[in-house]
Chain A
């Protein structure tokens, strides 16, 4: 009989958003995430109460999964953001900060904005934003040019420099960004008609080496603990080299037979029978002129010895994760049956083999025979924590670069997209307020309150880029974002500002600014004149950001719509 336990009744909270405790939690989370945002974001040290690993990070995915809350409304929000990050790898903090600002603006009682109106207005304005961003003439969007690597490198650098936990100098950041773009380009096949299948970048991290030693190689690098056993790798003459890939254990153990009991009678020497069979396999491989023998699992030493004697390079224990890239690189099909002869089409090819040394690591480099869609990125950094953060940053960069293949656009970074959007929406909505209020079923004043809350939330994301007490400004022509350091006097403002957040607008006597948190009269943000010589300094992923924007607003709407919480305490 199954054990029966009595379920205890759930704990209920009525009107949770009126509850100061929850508001405080949201506020705390907002402060925390804001302080991590952007290239000058502050790092967080995460340690749990039972000791263990300490993480230093400013990445939303790491932060949010580490700082999990038991409060259901907070968890609803964090899971939404984490889901976004798992799909798009970028703009997690942007989504989180925007969402929390929207909640904060609408939940404030003194603002006089009704929550249900806020939800409708948010939805309406979100639609306006996405429509604008999708437009060809959108003022904060740039078309990516695949003829030059410049904009791709800028995009990559924006992602990498937004992770201050990597602790990179300017030069190192540029180096890593270039590597990321190089790796991305290597994984895009050039001449495959029809459905394109992207290759893969395999990342190998090497601790204790300078960052500038990081490199990208086409082909695969396999870890070989004992380089001396490899023998005369460099002297292999034939080109390309025949290779075979084994997906089963070649240890010679009988345990692979099945789950049943094995009874071995006297006189039956099962082990030697199995070993004989392995050597049969070896003979066939040698006969077929295989020069490289790779196995996912362990290889019996006798077989290894036999193969080496016949000039075959043997690599064992490569692990399941590398099997698919290996197969993709060499064209070999993994073999999992030992009894039957290996069909010719199971063999693959590599162009060349070389041995490379990275710090303490020795690696065997498999050069691709055909088009190189598989590449290996060697990432070096001074210590493990930074290396881990750098690895995460590079994976995210790879994903962001891949997203450009679907939608070859990027958004201006440095807070310029946010302020520009806010200025655009303010201008457009103020003129449409009477009709919009009617459609949304609310009064015009409520609509304007909702509009203000939405625009302020957008602007507060731009302002969150600033962490050293400076102030955020917006120019009244293009609606770009500018940062003014706290030690600058108002008179010198024009010189001190230099250029806007994304670097496209230069300061000058004709430019007028206002502080972000002040009311300014609405204006239609002018598109920039096409100046071929000026390139944006900071670019954000278009696909990731537009999804982040939508997820942030939808999540904020969900949170604002909560009337009751029922918590199962079982």
Chain B
């Protein structure tokens, strides 16, 4: 018999707060590394919220559900996992307070709990609806005008003198701020420079940035080479591709001539006599020799043909026989065999794109892996930043509406079209939250309490950033407020890089933030919509589990192994 657990709002809050406590260790300018071990015993390092939460291997169904949501969000945007948890916890807190206030009048304990849950659920749903319908609007009027714009075209066009190029600078600042959250203060500058260099090498006239970012992201495993035992500062961009295997034959060419290479996916040596086959030897002259000479001759034929074509490098997906290696060696060819299939598939017939690879150095595997993950997430973050916002809003809305039964698709206004310019950035350090906070309070939603709720919850992010110096929190807040008033009062275009704001400390992407809030609201609403958790004892029969309660789908006990 399965045992039923009814999660109350405060349990949910408690669970998320525990996750928050873990994530906070690596949040903000003073955050540090989290060391975790894999089940193989490897020691890994991370500051990425997603990796930290996954490494915890949580059992609690609600916590797993949250981790799943974080994972889904960062798989697309590459950024914001720690903020996700912070914001979620903060929203739960304000909702909890609001719900408790409203339900104070109720008499019995159990009915009060149920009422609180119902109020919280209602609030979460309304918030989600608000997020989908109006938040984009609020951001476009309340945040975007104060932000700068990052463009792809300019940075890479004149990539070489980085300091002379304004936009390169903004791109670098965006990346610096991102790497600061991932690799810490010591390496963020180095890696943002490296990333800019890498991207400018890949730049191509007739390809859209999103296409390139996607291409690099997809093939990242073969486009980077982790090297342990060197300091991080030895990492660099190199032209071409690095194949992570040694030659199977002695390496023999020394002149710098172009090399003709051939890619093989199968065996070169005819392997008619493989397992399962039967070779019959009858009496007579040279029975067995005829067989071996036949295979050898055909192999020799292949090698001779390759030689006549001027081929000097054979790239093979499978392990080749000794005879192949010896014959190739005799003909002056080099062989690399047993290659990962991905190398074979990664070919650039398109001469416009010049493939470059990244060599990532570090003291150990933990460090190189951390850098590689951060780099890949940076690509995703850039992709999200440059994505035209209306399409994101629509897809995000679609996926939310799919699960939210209360909203019909027709109620979705076409407002989000061209809501945000792609590539909009604001300074880091809570500027986005302060601006949105202000905008939400000014915004007329019809339900003032609702925008107030979200506005208050948002402030948790700058509060955590400045947790060590409350004075700087107030300073920043005053700075932002003053700036808004200045703009409103004078009604003129104030340059963003004026004395009020400086972009020096780095910038962050508005569209990533927008996506983050939507994802958090969605997660919140699905968390609070949960009515009961059923603990079953037949983990092997997923189907039975599904039938018993459809609401469990999100908390499905992951038996993936």
Contact = CB atoms under 8 A, between A and B. Distances in A.
B288 A254 contact: yes
B278 interface: yes
B52 A566 contact: yes
Which of B31, B277, B288 lies at the interface centre, i.e. has the most chain A CB atoms within 10 A of its CB?
A: B288
B326 A334 contact: yes
B150 interface: no
A1 B250 CA distance: 45
A487 B22 CA distance: 55
B287 A12 contact: no
Given A8-B57, A337-B327, A260 B25 contact: no
Interface in B239-298: 250, 254-255, 271-284, 286-289, 291-293, 296-297
A265 B32 contact: no
Interface of B: 22, 25-26, 30-39, 43, 45, 52, 55-59, 184-186, 228-233, 250, 254-255, 271-284, 286-289, 291-293, 296-297, 299-300, 321-323, 325-327, 329-330, 362-367, 539-540, 559, 561
Contacts of B45: 76, 558
A545 interface: no
17 contacts: A8-B57, A79-B43, A79-B228, A80-B367, A87-B229, A88-B229, A119-B186, A247-B326, A257-B273, A257-B279, A258-B273, A259-B275, A260-B278, A270-B287, A339-B293, A566-B37, A567-B37
A195 interface: yes
B314 to A, nearest CB: 15
Contacts of B325: 247, 336
B57 A263 contact: no
Nearest to B31: A563
A272 to B, nearest CB: 10
Nearest to A99: B363
A273 B290 CA distance: 10
Given A79-B365, A265-B283, A558-B366, 18 more contacts: A4-B559, A5-B561, A10-B36, A72-B35, A79-B228, A83-B363, A86-B229, A87-B229, A87-B230, A120-B185, A197-B254, A260-B273, A260-B274, A333-B330, A338-B296, A339-B296, A550-B230, A551-B229
Contacts of B232: 554
Contacts of A85: 229
B323 A336 contact: yes
A319 to B, nearest CB: 14
Q: Which 6 A-B pairs have the closest CB atoms?
A: A267-B283, A336-B326, A258-B273, A83-B229, A563-B32, A260-B277
Interface in A93-136: 116, 119-120, 123
Interface string A382-405: 000000000000000000000000
A248 B366 CA distance: 42
B363 A84 contact: yes
B318 to A, nearest CB: 15
Interface of A: 1-2, 4-10, 12, 14, 16, 72-73, 75-76, 79-80, 83-88, 116, 119-120, 123, 194-195, 197, 247-248, 254, 257-270, 273-274, 277, 324, 327-328, 333-340, 343, 345-346, 547, 550-551, 554-555, 557-558, 561-568, 570
A114 B3 CA distance: 50
Contacts of B22: 12, 564
A260 B326 contact: no
A564 B39 contact: no
A261 B279 contact: yes
B39 A558 contact: no
B229 A565 contact: no
Contact of A273 (B255, B272, B287): B287
Nearest to B227: A87
B561 A568 contact: no
Contacts of B559: 4
B228 to A, nearest CB: 4
Main secondary structure of the interface of B (DSSP, over half): mixed
Contacts of A277: 289
Contacts of B26: 563-564
A561 B300 contact: no
A105 B289 CA distance: 74
Contacts of A340: 293, 296-297, 300
Nearest to B279: A262
Contacts of A7: 57
B152 to A, nearest CB: 31
Nearest to A334: B326
A16 B33 CA distance: 11
B329 A333 contact: yes
A298 B57 CA distance: 53
B367 to A, nearest CB: 7
B32 A562 contact: yes
Contact of B56 (A12, A261, A346, A558): A12
B283 A268 contact: yes
Contacts of B230: 87, 547, 550-551
Given A266-B283, A570-B57, A558 B250 contact: no
A5 B25 CA distance: 31
A566 B32 contact: no
A561 B228 contact: no
B231 A551 contact: yes
B364 A270 contact: no
B74 to A, nearest CB: 18
A568 B38 contact: yes
Contacts of B363: 80, 83-84, 551, 554-555, 558
Contacts of B276: 260-261
A273 B297 contact: no
B281 A263 contact: yes
A247 to B, nearest CB: 5
Contacts of B287: 268, 270, 273
B281 A568 contact: no
B65 to A, nearest CB: 16
A565 B35 contact: yes
A536 B184 CA distance: 41
Which of B254, B279, B286 lies at the interface centre, i.e. has the most chain A CB atoms within 10 A of its CB?
A: B279
A337 B365 CA distance: 42
A75 B45 CA distance: 12
A116 B330 CA distance: 59
A310 B98 CA distance: 102
A547 B231 contact: yes
A201 to B, nearest CB: 17
Which of A195, A334, A558, A562 lies at the interface centre, i.e. has the most chain B CB atoms within 10 A of its CB?
A: A558
Given A333-B326, A337-B296, A337-B326, A566 B279 contact: no
